Amino acid sequence: MSNLIAYQFKNSNIRIELKNNEPLFCLADVADALNIKNHRDLASKQLNPKGVEKIYTLTNGGKQELTFIDEANLYRVIFRSNKKEAVDFQNWVFEQVLPSIRKTGSYSLTLTTEQQYQIKEAVHANAAKTHRRFFAVYKSLYAKFNVPRYQDILAKDFDDAMLFLEASDKQPALPNLNQNGRWLVIVKNNTVTHVENINGYNCINADVFKKLRMQTKQQAEYLLELAKRMRVIDGECSNSRLDAPIEELHSKFII
């Protein structure tokens, strides 16, 4: 599971990877926030290599190797910038982000605007593949992350949310059908939801079964009426019961 935390500082997207509960900051994001050019040269020439790590990170273009720096190197990058943004960024990191990470092990901010857009696109893709309504896909997402709306998903859960939407648009794997027999396959909303071997079971059309059940009931009532008429012999039933044909007493009987 990824320990990546993503959030925004003003108009810049900042990613932090937690390693042993210690934050590593994406150098490219920090450089963008502080308007620093050539961050690659910065990493190779001015930062402590012990605090620089290459980490494969999920991006819009797939997994890419990005450079992350530790807290000490973050100070070096901030102090290198003389722009006003550096002071604002420094105060924000030191007064909000780092204390929150030290206390909870994560920075509990919700999704960025870009991440919200990606969630919506993933929901639409899921609905198109599964032929489910958008509402149903959103409902399953809310239940998974225990939120009332997708905007409230925590930034640290973004990767898991995307994986959940990608995984849930796939049909369940079918069992091995390469064997003789009869199979019951249930399809709901164009998705196979159940497969079962029904060898040894009899199948009958539902309408035919209803007619058969009705006729069986009628035959049972017919036999019951015959049994009552037989009681005439023992004097337990009036002879007048025999005067009317049985089909007139029970017009629905099937004789």
Domain ranges for the chain, please list them: 4-104, 113-167, 174-203, 206-249
* Rg, Å, the chain Cα set: 36
d(C-alpha 54, C-alpha 110), whole Å: 25
Residue 52 and residue 65 in contact, taking contact as beta carbons nearer than 8 Å: no
Q: What is the pLDDT of residues 39-94, one digit of tens each?
A: 787 777 788 989 999 988 887 778 889 999 998 999 888 887 777 778 888 888 88
For the chain, what is the mean pLDDT? 78
Residues 6+ positions from 99 with CB-CB distance below 8 Å: none
Question: 3-state secondary structure string, 143-198?
Answer: HHHCCCCHHHCEHHHHHHHHHHHHHCCCCCCCCCCCCCCCEEEEEECCEEEEEEEC
Predicted confidence at residue 250, as pLDDT, reads 55
What are the backbone angles phi and psi of residue 59, rounded to the nearest 5°? -125, 180
pLDDT in tens, the chain (255 residues): 456 777 678 778 888 888 877 889 999 999 888 888 877 877 777 889 899 999 888 877 788 899 999 989 998 888 877 777 788 888 888 877 777 676 655 555 567 777 888 999 999 988 888 878 888 888 889 888 888 888 778 777 888 899 988 886 555 545 555 556 677 777 776 666 677 777 777 777 778 878 888 888 878 877 887 777 777 777 777 777 677 776 665 555 454
Residue 30 and residue 85 in contact, taking contact as beta carbons nearer than 8 Å: no
Cα maximum dimension of the chain: 118
Predicted confidence at residue 62, as pLDDT, reads 80
Residue 22 and residue 71 in contact, taking contact as beta carbons nearer than 8 Å: yes
